[in-house]
Amino acid sequence: MIILFGNQKGGVGKSTLAVLFANYLSFVHNKDVIVFDMDNQRSIYNKVQAAKVLENVQLYEVEAANVDQFNTIHAIVSDKENLITILDVAGSIENDNLIPVFKGVDLIICPFAYDEYSVGSTIDFSEVVKTLNNKVNIVFIPNRIKTNVKYETLESVNKVLSNFGAVTNPISERIDFQRINSFETPHTIRQVVTPVFDSIFNQFI
């Protein structure tokens, strides 16, 4: 199974939630996981390399790869039934190399925020993805939700997004998300993400 963390909007938590979900799958469900960091910024890959120097034991492999290697990766991982492959991509829908990715993945997890610009990008992204692959499941995760803010558009946004896929419960804005790693998820973060990840796992994996 290949899961893409995607949204053309930057800063919505794709890389962060990709790592936390990989930790969750391997730690909670004992799944074989491999992560391909396909974002040119290599935020996940570089973090893992830095942590390896400190001799941390990894839960799973993290590889750096380019988007145009997707077909090769797909061919390698698709006959490994028990392996869950996680892709982190920057996500710009203008990148033609992403077309095979959108066509070839089994599930897209799409973090977003309830601000106008993020919602617009998220809808554009979903339209492109669904045009290329109308069978793919998309799961939207409202992320970085501030507890003291009233999100006036929440219901109408969720309604629009539900035309493309499922919307999970929100994940709150928390300072400790800035320090996550691919070796273990701190208890405080686990409490926040586990219910959301459980709902995705139970429905789609």
Ligand X SMILES: Nc1ncnc2c1ncn2[C@@H]1O[C@H](COP(=O)(O)OP(=O)(O)O)[C@@H](O)[C@H]1O
Question: Contact positions toward ligand X, by CB under 6 A?
Answer: 10-16, 43, 143-144, 171, 173-174, 177-178
Question: DSSP string covering 91-128, please?
Answer: --TT-GGGHHHHHH-SEEEEEE-SSHHHHHHHHHHHHH
Least CB distance to ligand X at residue 27 (A):
19
Per CB under 5 A, the list member of 15, 23, 122, 182 interacting with Mg ion is 15
**180 φ, ψ to 5°?**
-75, 160
Question: Which listed range, 7-15, 22-30, 95-103, 192-200, lies at the site for Mg ion (CB under 5 A)?
Answer: 7-15
Least distance CB 56 / Mg ion (angstroms): 21
Interacting partner of 86 out of ligand X, Mg ion, none (Cβ under 5 to 8 A depending on kind): none
Judged by beta carbon distances under 5 to 8 A according to partner kind, the member of ligand X, Mg ion, none in contact with residue 143 is ligand X
Residue 75 CB, nearest approach to Mg ion (Å): 25
Q: CA angle, corner 8, sides to 62 and 185, nearest 5?
A: 40
Q: Are 122 and 116 in contact (CB under 8 A)?
A: no
Kindly state whether residue 143 participates in binding Mg ion, applying the rule CB under 5 A.
no
* 167's tokens: 């919307």
Partner from ligand X, Mg ion, none contacting 100, C-beta within 5 to 8 A by type: none
Measured in whole angstroms, how far is the alpha carbon of residue 62 from the centre of its chain?
14
CB of 137 to ligand X, least distance (A): 19
> What does 23 bind: ligand X, Mg ion, none (CB cut-off 5 to 8 Å by kind)?
none
Ramachandran assignment for 185, one of left (phi > 0), alpha (psi -120 to 50 degrees), beta (any other): beta
